[in-house]
Amino acid sequence: MGGEARGNQATVPGPSHSRHDRSLSVRVDPNAPDGFVVHSFCGDDPIACRDHVRQMCGLPDFRGERRELTSQETQARQERRAKAECDEAALAAYVKNKALETWQDAAPLPGTVAERYLQIRCGSVPEDITGAGALRFHPRCVFKQADNTKVRLPALIGLFQDMQTGEPVAIHRTALLPDGSGKDERTPGLGNPKKTLGPSAGAAIMLSPFEEITLGLGICEGIETTVSIAQTGWRPLWVVGSAGGIENFPPLGGLEYLTVFADHDENGTCQRAALTCRDRLSRHKIEVEAIMPQASGRDWNDTIQAMKDAA
């Protein structure tokens, strides 16, 4: 159906939506009349959603016969899908432009609250990591709250660049306390102080320049972990932003070795992502090694800083 499955539930494109849409939830339920239950997050008609799922799965209609769409219905559906894809592309372009405008308005990292935050969290920021220009500080970055109102907060900004071309495509924002002593977990309705703006799939925050990637590369989920790894002398390094960024890391031309500095998630998410990445890239003759802290629930930033404290 062109969506994403987890357990007995999937999120898939709704009827007449683009193939990138995930507004329709389909849950397998043996007790339901059709064997499944649907829910549209954008208010599509439930009967239309159910019929859409049945058609996508090749199931017959309630009379035991599958009704073929008329040419007019087929054309109308194609027109609705084309419009949905056009609207989606326009929205993606708008969000990308907003992200890059925020990046342009941000200041270089040295001497800012964002640098102080990284110094507190990671101990120091190597000069070449600062010099790569992939991290900046914004004193009044826009964040959306749970009620859709907007608030301006100081933020560490990371620039996502396309891994294949180096083109800037999105930003990562970490809302900070005014003095840089930590992430802003106090502002009501903010939720997770770390948020992405723009299309970040297939992109990375390149703490080592794009041009330096030849035979080998190290990747991490988060900025703080990558900065801590950089203190050990490891280069080159990129931030991929999430376990999904690890799982879907592309087979870059010329790359022969990839080291994944995986978080030791208690639920195993990052570990599974690293294994999937290894299995997939091995088919492209790229050797993948996943390195993970021993302690459950820790990432490499936690581990390296604890080692420093114990020394």
Domain identity same for 122 and 49: no
Domain range for 27 is 4-56
At 144, list the tokens: 């959306």
Domain identity same for 137 and 250: yes
Residue 64 lies inside a defined structural domain of this protein = no
Which pLDDT tens digit goes with each residue over 157-206? Answer: 999 999 999 999 999 999 999 999 999 999 999 999 999 999 998 999 99
Distance CA 152, CA 230 (A): 30
Pairing verdict, β 135-144 and 4-6: unpaired
Residue 66 lies inside a defined structural domain of this protein = no
Residue 174 lies inside a defined structural domain of this protein = yes
Distance CA 36, CA 3 (A): 15
Residue 247 lies inside a defined structural domain of this protein = yes
pTM above 0.75, yes or no: yes
At 168, list the tokens: 């800037």
Residue 75 lies inside a defined structural domain of this protein = no
Which pLDDT tens digit goes with each residue over 244-285? Answer: 999 999 999 999 999 999 999 999 999 999 999 999 999 999
Q: CB-based contacts of 79: which residues, under 8 Å, 6+ apart?
A: none
Report DSSP letters for 254-311, one per residue: T--EEEEE----TT-HHHHHHHHHHHHHHTTT-EEEEE--SSTT--HHHHHHHHHHH-
Domain identity same for 34 and 178: no
pLDDT at position 60 over 70 = no
Check residue 66 and give its pLDDT: 52
